[in-house]
Amino acid sequence: MIAPHLLSDKAILPAERLIFALDVPDAAAARALVETLGDTVRFYKIGLELFMAGGYFELIEWLRARGKKVFVDLKFFDVPETVRSAVRRLQPYGAAFATVHGNDAILRAAVDGAREAGGDLGILAVTALTSLDQADLNDLGFACDPRTLVLSRARRALAIGCRGVISSGLEAAALRESLGEQLLIITPGIRPVLNRPDDDQKRTLDVEEAFLSGADHIVIGRPIRQAADPHAAAAAIQERIARLFTTATPAH
């Protein structure tokens, strides 16, 4: 569903609705790209590739020192007590969000860990990866469609106390209609233009479609990173976001 009444009216700066996926081989490449993007990007997602490369937490501190917001995308998945402890260790670095993947006990442990450590770290529950389609879910043994799975996980995440969910834009409208404005919806797999044939993201939307389906933030990586001019590509997306939130009036 794409409709102006689903446009987010949360108090989020338009320039912070774009989260750039900083998926590069190492911290030096990450810093260089951040410098290239300059003020066109204020919010960064850093994931497993950079974590394995080393210097991950130093990179968080470097980004925070430059006034950037950081989204830690490590998809914590382990026994609950281990997840609780990991989240507590993360708290001092000032990240805005951290992703957790797992059942209710794992999500609850993450929420408890963030609360015990103080601060304002928001736990985001992963619903269904945007690289998965119905055939993939069938192979994994899920006897339901992506929408049903996403709604089920989101309802449980809300009840447990998660700040929001990671969800494809294709399910964002159903989440918004079902759960209202209670949860943040962060939507990856955004493609400002048509997907390439070799793209591993299967359930995608473009910028305007995602926000008009209820997303609060969108995550974009390759369309900016692989552009001939990443700075110009990010600026163009920010202009689209600013235009959308300036001209459209949510009607909640």
Domains along the chain with CATH numbers = 13-247 (3.20.20.70)
10 burial via Cβ count (<10 Å: 0-12, 13-18, 19+): exposed
Predicted confidence at residue 135, as pLDDT, reads: 58
Using alpha carbons, select from 36, 41, 63, 38 the residue that is nearest to residue 228. Answer: 36
Predicted confidence at residue 85, as pLDDT, reads: 97
- Residues of the chain with pLDDT below 50 are 130-132, 136-138, 140, 194-203, 250-252
Gap between the Cα atoms of 214 and 131, Å rounded: 20
Predicted confidence at residue 182, as pLDDT, reads: 87
Gap between the Cα atoms of 121 and 94, Å rounded: 7
Predicted confidence at residue 203, as pLDDT, reads: 41
Alpha carbon dihedral 126, 59, 42, 36, in 10-degree steps, equals -120
Alpha helices in the chain (DSSP H): 27-37, 48-53, 56-65, 80-90, 104-117, 134-139, 146-160, 169-179, 207-212, 222-225, 230-247
Number of C-beta neighbours around residue 56 at 10 A: 19
Gap between the Cα atoms of 94 and 90, Å rounded: 8
This prediction's pTM: 0.88
Using alpha carbons, select from 177, 183, 184, 190 the residue that is nearest to residue 18. Answer: 190
Predicted confidence at residue 70, as pLDDT, reads: 98
> Residues with catalytic annotation?
75
Gap between the Cα atoms of 222 and 198, Å rounded: 12
The dihedrals phi and psi of 73, each to the nearest 5 degrees, come to: -110, 75
Gap between the Cα atoms of 237 and 244, Å rounded: 11
Pairing of strands 184-187, 164-166: parallel
